[in-house]
Every structure is written in structure tokens, then in C-alpha cells.
Structure 1
């Protein structure tokens, strides 16, 4: 019995210790010029946009996972400390001209590096001599000098981006030192003619991008060894010279995706894809195929599932044979071609399994009476056509349709029976039509509708109850977009009817709103995402309507007129996980620090404030990683403060006195240099909630003591808790030993 009691006590203590752990990880070292924080469980040091001329090695944690030095003025790198455990190094947008291998000696843990957007001309071949697991290198947007022989010797490299690097000629041995590459981006280089054996060693290559390289021709043996190629992108080139496409493409038998968009193709040979039987996606949009019989060129692609012929200036009439041999096509894009309803009626007839059809911007004044044949059609785009309102009724047979885009189609009237049979509809787009008056019952039968888009429709009032069935809740309708409408909102009353009570995402951006009434969302209290960007909200007192949204998770207030915002405005929204505030004229005052502390201390996650810290998208390989930051401005009339070595509790002090030279500051920098005290209310709320949840009888006494002693008491309490924990463990150990000794004595007595 005693053993089970001891085990119960031990488990109770262990569980209590786990519960008391609040998820905070140990603070690491951080340079004065940087913002440091945890991203998941990894220590991130963000020194971007800090006017640095050298890496601040002093106070740089050896446990740094991501070091972000983007957009500084660094031209030389001193050797990194030997014990540093950095995995990703980001130095895009600096002033380096030469990458030397001595810069990176000892970086045994390094996996990824980004040097895009520098002035790099030379690179040592053995660039990362000690990085045995290095796999990703980004060098795009650098003016590299011509390379003779091997470019890099990194046998583990899988991903290489050298797009827009002024490469005109690829040496035959250019990639011999990177045989493991699976993804290679050479886009935006003025290569012009591709006649090289540089790719011979890249037998593992699966994705090759040669977009916008001004290629005029490709010789027949360039891709001979690329037997594992699955994706080839050649968009934006100028193939005016004769290229034997059959021989160029035939060495790639498992090719699945081919993009030849906007490459000046004016012919497609009958045998062009003769050896590409597994091709599933073919994009030849934006080429002049005016005199081409497309059906002849694609007849061998029996496995083709997606075909994009958008903006190809098709003049040869589409016939019943055009798609006769490619009946597996599920997605067909014909947008931007001048088409006639009569031709479509015949040409589309073999595609009875069609699921997606795009006919946008085709000059259609009427629709083909053929939609009754498409029993599986799920998505239809007929936007940007000068449709006559009367022909909309031809869509009525599409009972399986789930997505319909009729945006910008010159519609001024839609009959209330237009969608009556489309009971499978999930997303409906009517944006860009002048629909001042929506007929009663228009959306009544769309009982499975999930998303309704009415952006820029000239609506002056939100949707009313007459558009839907009476006394019916549209349980699937969770998204409503009304952006760009000049809405006139009354001072009282709900914006939306009871039928939309399950609404979760609402877009009211750019609606010229200056306020919303307190009971705006009386019937729509399940909203989780509210987008109010591009309006004219000015005062924090304008947000009483948020009190009716207890489930709100995302609030978008970007590009309004806010200069201050308090956590009190969202005290009734405990589920908020994303607050978007970029683009407002924020003042550099302690209200910024209060909001920062709320995210950090109350919510436990700074990323709640979008633009405050590095997110997943900021550490992903690719061309678009420049994060937008939260910025505030000092009052120009007051002048800039002098930052001394302040010792505000919870904020890392500077080692030296600093002078601020710029009016605008990122929130991260301002909070640290401001001297604003951490909000005691946030701290008390956090601790007293824990006290109340644990059932302390004298919770008010805890509050009084915390108010009197603050963080010192918390530190003392932590130490005392550790002492108590150790004492209890010691007592349990003693009791266990005593119990075991008594058991041994009893056994000895029995034996005697």
C-alpha cells in the first residue's frame, strides 16, 4: 500500500512540474543591433536592416539556428566561431563581391545559405569545406564573372538557385562538382543558345528552370542524361531558331510537367512529344499558334490531364477532332483566345470527363449550349466576357458545378432562378459586375455554398435576408468577400442576417469604412477571420464591435489610420492568434511596448503580431522572402531620444550608450531601446490566472503581494518551488528506503 502511495505522490509531483512549465525556453545571447527570439524551438537572431558593416560576433549565441543578416552593408566576413551551431545563414541584400571558403570554415552544422542580391562576382569552389550536410544555396541576383571549369564542389548540394546571375555561357564541366542536384534554377540569365554538356553529371536532376533566358535554340544533346527529369520550365524565351523538339525532349521519358509559356513558339511538330508518354501537365500558353492544328501536336499525349492554351491566338477553328485523342484531360484552359460558342459546342464534346474549364476573356457574347454534357464539371471560369444577361440561363444544367467564376462579365442583372439547380456549388464569384440590386432568393438554393465573392460590385449595403431562404441557416457558408464596395453602414443594427450565422471569414477591405456599429455582428458571432484593411479606422475606441466575436482568430487592420492600439480592444477575443497591423502610422510610444508585451507574455508568441518576427516564409528557399516589418515613427517635433544603458526588467540592456539617428524604428528595436516598463497588468493577469486555476483560496493575497514586489517575488517563488520540490523528493526517498528496510527485516524474521 505504501508503495502505491509513494508512486502516486511521485507522479503527482512530476505532473505538477510539467504543468508549471510555461513553455519558455532559456534566453540566449543576442547582439545589441539584433532582435532575438525562438522560432518554434530554434533560436533566431534577426539582424536584418540594421546598417551593419560586419557580423556582430560579440554576444552571438553559439546555439543560433537561423542568423538573418539580410539587407545590411556587409562586404567582408570574419571567420565564424568554431563552436557555432548555425543551420541557416541569410545574407541577402548586402555588398559582398567575393565568397571565400575561409569565411565558412568550422560551420559543421550549416545546411542552408542565402547570398542573393549582393554584388558577388567570384566564388571559391570549395565554399563550405566543413559543412558535411550542406544542401541549399541561393545566389540569385548576383553579377557572377564567367566560370571556366567547375563552378562549385559541394557533393551534397540538392538545391541551387543561380538565376539572374549574368551567366551567358555554361562550361561543359560547370556542374561536375554538384552531382547530387535535384533542383536547379538558371532562369533570367542571358544564355541565348543552349549547346553544352554541362548537365551530363546531373543524373538525379528532377526540376530544371530556364525561364526568361532569351533562349533562341536548344541543341539536341543538351538533356541527354536527364533521365529522371520530371519538371522542365522554359517559359519566357525566344525560340526563333529551329529546334528539333522531338530530340530535345525524348531523353526525358518520365517528364510530367513541361512549361513553354510565352516562348515565341509558332509551330508544334506532329512528333514533338513522341517519347513523353507520361506528360500530364503541358503549358504552351501565350504563344502565337494561329495557324497550328493543336490536335495533331498533342495526339500522342494520351495521359495528359492539364492543357493550357491560354492566349495562343488560335485561328484554326476548334473541331471535333481537336481533343479526340486526349480524352483524359481534366483541366482545359482556353482563356484569351477569340472563340465562338458554335466551335466550342463541337470541340468540347469528346471531353465528357472534364472537371475544370476556363473560358475567360474569350470575347464570348453568348455561351455554348453544351454544358449538359459535362456531368463531372466542377470548375468553370467564364469571367471577363461581354455576356448578355439572357444567356446565363444556359448554365442551369450544371448540377455538379462546385466553382463558378462570372466576375467582370458585364452583368447588371441575374435572374433569381439562375443558380436554382446548382445545389453542389461551393464557391461563387460575381465580383466586378455592376450589381447594385440583387434579386430576392438569388442564393436561396445554394445550400452547400462555402464562399461567396461580391468584390467591387458597387454594393451600397451589406447582404440582406431576402437573398436567402427564410428560417434556414447556411451552415457551409463560411466565407464572404465584399471588398471594394462603397458600403453605407447605419449606426446601429446587424450587418448580416441570421441565415449567415456560421460565417467564419469576412472581407470588408477597402470599403471606405470609418466605423462599424457595436452590434454589427449580432447574428454572425462565429467569425474567426475579419479583414478590415484599407479602410479609415482611426481611434482604438472604434472597435466595440469586436466584443461580439469571441471566436476571432485573425484580425486584419493593415493600412488604416491607426497610430495606437491597445490589447484592451481585443480583451473579449481570447482566441486571437494573428493581428495584422502593418501599414498604419504608428507612433513610437509605450503603447507599442504594451502591445509587444501582450503578444510575448500574455499570448506567449510574438508571431501573433505579423511583421514582428521571422516566420516560416522568411526562411524558405525562393525569390520572395523580404518580410514586411512593423514600423513606428518618433514625433519629429519632440526630436530623437538618446538611448542609454537602461536596465528595464525583462529587456536586455545595451552595453554602451546609443544614439538614434532615424525617425522610423522597427517595433522590435523600439521596444528594446524605449525604456518602457513591462506592463504589470499583463504580468499579474498571467500569474493570477494560474493561481485561480490551481484553486488557491487566497488568490487576492497573491495579487496584492505580486503588485507590491513584482518580478522579484516571482523569482523568489520560483526558487522556493525548486527547494520544496527537492525536499519532497528527498522525503520520498527516505520513506522508500525505510519501507524497503522494514520489508527486508520481515522477510528475515519469516525465514528464521
Structure 2
């Protein structure tokens, strides 16, 4: 029977009360899981008949207190999970006798205080979780007998100070987390903790760190002091941290870093100083950090950098200087950074990309130069960047750039120029960029593209020219783009398209022409793009189409015609696409759909007619759409809808009708007639 069970789980139910007699004679039970049951009360003695319990889960319930002797007979317990309850107070004898307890979870409760001797019998405890309570005071003797403790978590409480001798008897401790508290000062609380590996003190109210406070922590590899109010770093703070790998100092109020402050950190690989108020840095501040791989200096007030500041960082891979006030980088600033792969210099005050600026960055793969008042680019600095994989130039005042400027970047895969004053693309602009796959030229002032501008881009797959000033698409404009799959020309001023242009892009499958001035078509515009699967013509001024305009688009599956001027739909209004599956004609002021409109559209699966002015829906409107699965009629003016209207649509499963003028009785009638039909958002 039940006495043989070793593991029992009861979770996800509503069991507000566990009586003493509920689990009689369960002596073999080793693991008991009661989580997520809205449990409010457990009677004293409820677990007395399970003396062999090793693991107890009572988390995610509504317990406000525990009976004094609830756990006292469970002397074999090793893990107890009491997190995510509403415990306010714990009795001093709550864990009495549990000498084998190793893991204790009390996080996410309402605890305000802890009895000084509550853990007196827990000399085997290795993990103590007290995160996210309301604890204000930590008794000095709280951990006096917890000699095996390795990890303690006290984050998200209301602790203003930690007793000096709190960790005096925990020589094996490895992790101390006390983030998100109003902690104002640190005494010498880490003395003798030679095995400590990780200290998290982020998001407190520390204004200064005493010199030598971390002395002797030879095993420490991670120290997080971010989100405090530290305004100054001095040389003695990090004394003795020879093994430290990661130092987080971001989001403080730091204005000064004294020379030699990081000299005692020879093993440091990651240093974060972003989001401070640093205006300058000592010239040799990083000279002893030979192992540094990631350096974060973004969102400060740095106006300039000493020429030799990075000269000893031969192992650096990531350098972030985003959002400062840097006007210029001297030649050779990056000369010795031969391992750097990512450089962020966006949001500064750079007026030009000067010669020798990127000298030495032979391994650079990602370069971000956004939001600088750059008016000119010298080509010489880009000749150094043969390994570059991604180049992003955004929010600059650039009007043009010389031909062959980027010809040495043979490995570049993604090139972005966005939000600039670039007004013309010249022949040779992209020469030599043999590996380029994605070219984004978005939100510029481009109004002219010279013949041959894209020559050499044989591997290009995606070209974005949206949000420019193009007025027409001419033949030969896209010479060299034989493998382009995606072409975005939306939000220009295009009013005409030369049909021959698409002969140069035989593999084109996705074409976006939305938000232009297209309204008259000759009928041959798309005859040369037989592989097209997606076409967006929304937000133009289209009133009608030539009857055969889509005839050659035998692969077209998605057609978007939103916000045009189609008005009334009848047979031929939308030229037939034999493979068309998704058709959207949102916001066209369509007030009527004539019988036969969709006679040849059997392949349609999804039809969107929302935001039009349809008043009536009749039986013949959707004739021919035998495979349609989803129909959107939201936000029309429909007041008359016969329940029989969907009889000839055998595959229909979803109809959206929100924002119309239908009576509840009509909706109920449809629901009764088509019980499997989902009527969304009515």
C-alpha cells in the first residue's frame, strides 16, 4: 500500500489544510512535494510518520507560519523548500535537530526578522536562500554554527548593514549575494574568507569602498558593485584580488578613478565602468590588466583618451565606448588591439573618420559608428579592417562616400548606412565587397542610383532601400544583384517601374513596394520575376489593376494591398494568383464585394478585409474560397449577417468580427450553426 511509496507529489491543486492524520504510516517516504496547492496551514505532527524524509517541497503556497515542531522529527532532511509563501516569522526552534540539512530555501516570503540561533543545529548547511523578504537586521551570531556554508543569498531585503563577524565561522563560503538592499557601509566582513569566489553587492547605497576590504580573497573571481553611489576608486580597494576575473562598477556616480587603481588585478578579463560620470581616465590605468578581454566604458562623459591608454591590452576582444563625448581618436589609439573583434563608438562627437583611426584593428568583425556628427569619411582607415563582418553607420551627416572606399573589406557580410544625408549611390561605392550578403540603406536621402552602383555584389541576398527619395525604378539600376532574394523599396516616392529591371534579379522572392506613389500600372511590371512569393503594394493610391498583371507570378503566395483605393471588389478587381494563400486588402473603404470576385481564388487560406466599410455579408460574396481557413472582417459596418453565409466555406475555422454592428442574437445563431468555428474578439 501507501507505506511503500518513496516519492509523493501533490501539486497544482487547492488543498488549504494538511491535517495531522493525512499521511499516516508513510515511513518509506524519502521525497515529498506539496508545491503550488494554495496551502494555508499544516498541523503540527503532519510529517511525524515520515521520519525518513530527505527532501521536502512546500514552496509556492500561502503559509503564513510553521508550527513549532513541524520538522523536528525529520532528522534525515537534507533539502527543504519553503520559498514563495507568506511566512512572516520563524520560531527559533523551527529547524532544531536538522543536523543533516544542506539546502534551505526561504526566499520570496515576508520575513522581517530571524532569531539569532535559528540555525544553531545546521552545521551541514551549504546553501541558505533568503532572497526577497523584508529582513532589516541580521543577527551577528546567525551563522555562528553554520560552518559548512558555501552559498548565502540575501538580495532584495531591507538590510542597511552587515555585522562584522557574520561570516567569521564560515571559512568555506564561496558565494555571498546581498544585492538590492539599502546597504550603506561595509565593515571588514570578508576577513579570512580565502575560498570566496563570488560577491554580489549590486544596487545598494554604498558611497565608498574601504581600502583593503577584499584583501586575502585569493579565490575571488567575480565582484559586482554596480548600481551603487560610489564616486571614487582608489588604488587600495582591490588589493589582494590577484585572481579576480570580472569586476562590475557600472551605474555608480563615479567621477574619479585614481592612477594605479586596477594594478592589483592582473587576472581581470572583464571590466565594466559604463553609466558613470567619468570625464577622463589616467593614461596608464589599464597597463597592468594584461588579460583583459572585455572593457565597457559606455555612457560616461569621456571627452578624450590618452594615446597609449590601451597599449597593453593585447588580449582585448570587446571595447565599448558608446555614448561619450569623444571628438577624435588619435592615430595609434587602437594600434595594439589586434584581438579586438567588436568596437562600439556610437553616440559620440566624432566629425570625421580620420586616417589611421582604426590602425591595428586587424581582427575587428563588428564596428558601430552610429549617431555622430560625421560629415566626411576618409577611406584609408577602412583599409585596415580586412576582417570586418558587420559595419553599421547610423545617424550621421554623411552625404556621400568615395568609390572603392570599402574595397578591402572582403569578409563584410552586413553593411548598414541608416539615418544619414546620403543622396546618391555611385558606381564603385561597394566595389570589392565580395562577401556582402545584407545591405541596409534605410532612411537616407537617396534619390539617384548610378548604373553599376551595385556591381560586384554577386553574393548579396538582401537589399533595403526603404525611406529614401527614389521616384522611379529604371532598367540597369540593379545590375549586379543576381542573387538578391529580398528587396525593400517601401516609403519612397516611386510612381513608375521599368519591367526590365527585374530581369537583373531573377531570384527575387520578396518585394516590398508599400508606401509609394504607385497608382497606374502598364501591366508588364512584374513579368520578369517568376519566383516572387511575397508582394507588398500597400499604402499606394491604387484604384485598379490591369487584368494580367500577376499572371506570370505563379509562385506568389502572399499579396498585401492594404490602404489603397479599391472601393468595390468584383471579378477582375484583384488579378488572379493561382498559388495565392494570403490576401490582405485592409483599409480600402471597400463597401461591397460582388458575386464572383473570388471565383478563381481556391488556394486562399487567409483573407483579411478588416477596416473597410462593408455593411452586409451575403452567401455569394466568398464563393470560390473553398480552402479558406481564416477570415478577418473586423472594424467594418456589418449589421446584417445571415448564419448561412459560411455554408460554402467548408475549411473555415476562424472568423474575426470585432468592431461591427452585429446583434448578440446573430453571433449566437452563428455559434450554434458552426460550433467548431472560432469567433475571435467579438
1:471 aligns to 2:602 (yes or no): yes
CA contact (8 A) 1:289 1:314 kept: yes
Q: 2 CA distance for matches of 1:125 and 1:513?
A: 75
Alpha carbons of structure 1 residues 498 and 326: separation in structure 2 relative to 1, 3 Å = same
**Residue in 1 that maps onto 2:587:** 458
Alpha carbons of structure 1 residues 347 and 481: separation in structure 2 relative to 1, 3 Å = farther
Alpha-carbon shift at residue 90 of structure 1 (Å)? 5.8
Q: 2 CA distance for matches of 1:418 and 1:460?
A: 26
**Residue in 1 that maps onto 2:491:** 384
Cα deviation, 1:467-508, whole Å, max 9, x if unaligned, reads 79533266xx8xx9999x4686979999999577577xx999
Q: In structure 2, the residue corresponding to 1:272 is in which secondary structure? A: helix
**Residue in 2 that maps onto 1:211:** 322
**Residue in 1 that maps onto 2:393:** 284
1:375 aligns to 2:482 (yes or no): yes
Alpha-carbon shift at residue 392 of structure 1 (Å)? 7.8
Cα deviation, 1:567-623, whole Å, max 9, x if unaligned, reads xxxxxxxxxxxxxxxxxxxxxxxxxxxxxxxxxxxxxxxxxxxxxxxxxxxxxxxxx
Q: 2 CA distance for matches of 1:34 and 1:209?
A: 45
Alpha-carbon shift at residue 283 of structure 1 (Å)? 2.4
Q: 2 CA distance for matches of 1:104 and 1:439?
A: 84
Alpha carbons of structure 1 residues 65 and 535: separation in structure 2 relative to 1, 3 Å = farther
**Residue in 2 that maps onto 1:234:** 345
CA contact (8 A) 1:46 1:67 kept: no
Alpha-carbon shift at residue 209 of structure 1 (Å)? 1.4
**Residue in 2 that maps onto 1:307:** 415
**Residue in 1 that maps onto 2:368:** 259
Alpha carbons of structure 1 residues 142 and 310: separation in structure 2 relative to 1, 3 Å = same
Which has the higher relative contact order, 1 or 2, with Cα contacts under 8 A spaced 6 or more apart?
1
Alpha carbons of structure 1 residues 509 and 400: separation in structure 2 relative to 1, 3 Å = farther
1:404 aligns to 2:511 (yes or no): yes
Alpha carbons of structure 1 residues 207 and 112: separation in structure 2 relative to 1, 3 Å = farther
**Residue in 2 that maps onto 1:148:** 258
CA contact (8 A) 1:302 1:328 kept: yes
Q: 2 CA distance for matches of 1:513 and 1:115?
A: 58
Alpha-carbon shift at residue 105 of structure 1 (Å)? 9.4
1:298 aligns to 2:406 (yes or no): yes
Q: In structure 2, the residue corresponding to 1:224 is in which secondary structure? A: coil
1:331 aligns to 2:441 (yes or no): no
Q: 1 CA distance for matches of 2:623 and 2:293?
A: 52
Cα deviation, 1:197-223, whole Å, max 9, x if unaligned, reads 443454332121111211012233432
Alpha carbons of structure 1 residues 303 and 372: separation in structure 2 relative to 1, 3 Å = closer
Q: In structure 2, the residue corresponding to 1:295 is in which secondary structure? A: coil
Q: 2 CA distance for matches of 1:23 and 1:34?
A: 16
Structure having the higher helix fraction is 1
CA contact (8 A) 1:468 1:499 kept: no
**Residue in 1 that maps onto 2:471:** 365
CA contact (8 A) 2:604 2:627 kept: yes
Q: In structure 2, the residue corresponding to 1:332 is in which secondary structure? A: strand
Q: Which moved more, 1:434-443 or 1:280-289?
A: 434-443
Alpha carbons of structure 1 residues 399 and 276: separation in structure 2 relative to 1, 3 Å = closer
Alpha carbons of structure 1 residues 327 and 140: separation in structure 2 relative to 1, 3 Å = same
Cα deviation, 1:175-232, whole Å, max 9, x if unaligned, reads 4676544333221211011115443454332121111211012233432332210111
Q: Which moved more, 1:154-163 or 1:375-384?
A: 154-163
Normalising to structure 1: TM-score of the pair?
A: 0.52
Alpha carbons of structure 1 residues 202 and 447: separation in structure 2 relative to 1, 3 Å = same
Normalising to structure 2: TM-score of the pair?
A: 0.56
Structure having the higher strand fraction is 2
Alpha-carbon shift at residue 358 of structure 1 (Å)? 1.9
Q: 1:182 aligns with which of 281, 287, 293?
A: 293
CA contact (8 A) 1:120 1:144 kept: no
Q: 2 CA distance for matches of 1:451 and 1:104?
A: 70
Alpha carbons of structure 1 residues 151 and 293: separation in structure 2 relative to 1, 3 Å = same
Alpha carbons of structure 1 residues 531 and 235: separation in structure 2 relative to 1, 3 Å = farther
Q: In structure 2, the residue corresponding to 1:274 is in which secondary structure? A: helix
Q: 2 CA distance for matches of 1:121 and 1:535?
A: 60
CA contact (8 A) 2:462 2:486 kept: yes
**Residue in 1 that maps onto 2:202:** 115
**Residue in 2 that maps onto 1:660:** none
Alpha-carbon shift at residue 428 of structure 1 (Å)? 4.5
Q: 1 CA distance for matches of 2:657 and 2:321?
A: 38
CA contact (8 A) 1:334 1:358 kept: yes
Q: 1 CA distance for matches of 2:657 and 2:152?
A: 34
Alpha-carbon shift at residue 238 of structure 1 (Å)? 1.0
Cα deviation, 1:228-284, whole Å, max 9, x if unaligned, reads 1011111121124x87541x4222211112122232223322421233221232223
Q: In structure 2, the residue corresponding to 1:223 is in which secondary structure? A: coil
Q: 1 CA distance for matches of 2:395 and 2:321?
A: 17
Unaligned 5+ runs, structure 1: 1-12, 36-41, 561-752
Q: 2 CA distance for matches of 1:468 and 1:419?
A: 23
Q: 2 CA distance for matches of 1:33 and 1:278?
A: 56
Cα deviation, 1:310-368, whole Å, max 9, x if unaligned, reads 344236x5432333333443322333343344x33332234344322222222111113
